[in-house]
């Protein structure tokens, strides 16, 4: 991203140098630009209307095999997952569309489309069997895509400004806490969390009525919003009250 080169390969084999307009590692998304006109864009769908059981078609280059298409169904919605490098850097937190359409390394960045050919998500992550399979990641019927409504919002921000902001509430969360909910370890001075009254020891159990199971699900729920949006957190613990907060 900082010193490499990017090349875009079109369907007819034409190779074009591309310019990185901007990226947001928190969402695992970037925008690149090529100097060519007359290309036809894909049809953009509405991920808010996606339902479990809908047909899902994944397009990409798994294992370097260009133009591969696989199909399945939407298995789950709003699945909190993480994606990122093996060294743990630039971890992305995604409230994902889950699908059993076979997705393998190389599908990332490709579209997940519905039965009408409309893009409903961007393929981003796959589950790994971990140590039980030697750490190999492959298609086990658990693939995840960034909802297109989120991806499109981030892309438009990057196109218009060159950057994209990530919403935060200004609270440190305990990733090692057990039990349902996300436990607050600390609150940043002057942050929305402090202004809303969050305290260390509070346990966030819901965002806008959506259950929060752990720290990852809290982050993915918050990142479904844009900076400046108002959300409602349901707390248990020291406060045991409802609060309103602005990311």
Q: What is the residue-wise DSSP string for 20-78?
A: EEEEEGGGTEEEEEES---PPPPEE--GGG--TT-EEEEEE-GGG-TTEEEEEEEEEEE
Structure tokens at 38: 């007359």
Q: For the ranges 17-31, 93-107, 135-149, 181-195, which has the lowest average pLDDT?
A: 135-149
Structure tokens at 54: 């809908």
The pLDDT of residue 242 is above 60: no
Helix (H) / strand (E) containing 196: helix 192-196
The partner residues of 82 in beta bridges, in order of sequence, read: 93
Q: Which of 34-38, 161-165, 175-179, 208-212 has the highest mean pLDDT?
A: 34-38
* Residue 155 φ/ψ, nearest 5 degrees: -60, -45
Structure tokens at 122: 């961007």
Average the pLDDT over 54-72 and give the result.
Answer: 92
Dihedral sign, CA of 179, 91, 66, 59?
positive
Average the pLDDT over 12-38 and give the result.
Answer: 92
Q: Render pLDDT for 173-202 as a digit per residue (tens, 0 to 9).
A: 998 888 889 999 999 999 999 998 898 989
Strands (E), the chain: 6-9, 15-24, 29-34, 43-44, 55-60, 68-83, 92-99, 111-113, 118-126, 143-147, 171-173, 182-187, 203-207, 210-211, 231-236, 242-245
Which pLDDT band holds residue 138 (cuts at 50, 70, 90)?
low
Non-local CB neighbours of 163 within 8 Å, separated by 6+ positions: 22, 24, 157
Q: Render pLDDT for 100-112 as a digit per residue (tens, 0 to 9).
A: 999 888 898 999 9
């Amino acid at each position: 991203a900082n010193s490499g080169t990017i090349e875009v390969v079109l369907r007819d084999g034409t190779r074009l140098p591309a310019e990185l307009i901007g990226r947001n590692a928190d969402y695992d998304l970037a925008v690149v630009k090529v100097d060519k006109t007359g290309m036809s864009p894909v049809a953009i769908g509405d991920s808010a209307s996606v339902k479990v059981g809908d047909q899902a078609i994944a397009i990409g280059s798994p294992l370097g095999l260009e133009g591969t298409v696989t199909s399945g169904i939407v298995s789950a919605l709003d699945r909190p997952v993480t994606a990122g490098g093996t060294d743990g850097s630039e971890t992305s937190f995604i409230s994902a569309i889950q699908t059993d359409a076979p997705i393998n390394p190389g599908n990332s960045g490709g579209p997940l489309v519905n039965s009408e050919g409309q893009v409903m998500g961007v393929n981003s992550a796959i589950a790994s069997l971990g140590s039980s399979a030697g750490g190999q990641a492959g298609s086990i019927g658990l693939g995840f895509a960034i909802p297109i409504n989120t991806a499109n919002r981030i892309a438009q921000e990057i196109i218009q400004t060159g950057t994209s902001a990530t919403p935060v509430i200004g609270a440190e969360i305990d990733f090692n806490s057990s039990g349902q909910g996300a436990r607050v370890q600390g609150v940043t001075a002057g942050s929305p969390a402090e202004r809303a009254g969050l305290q260390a020891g509070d346990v966030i159990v819901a965002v806008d009525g959506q259950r929060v199971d752990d720290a990852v699900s809290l982050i993915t729920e918050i990142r479904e919003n844009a900076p400046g949006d108002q959300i409602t957190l349901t707390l248990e613990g020291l406060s045991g009250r409802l609060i309103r907060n602005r990311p």
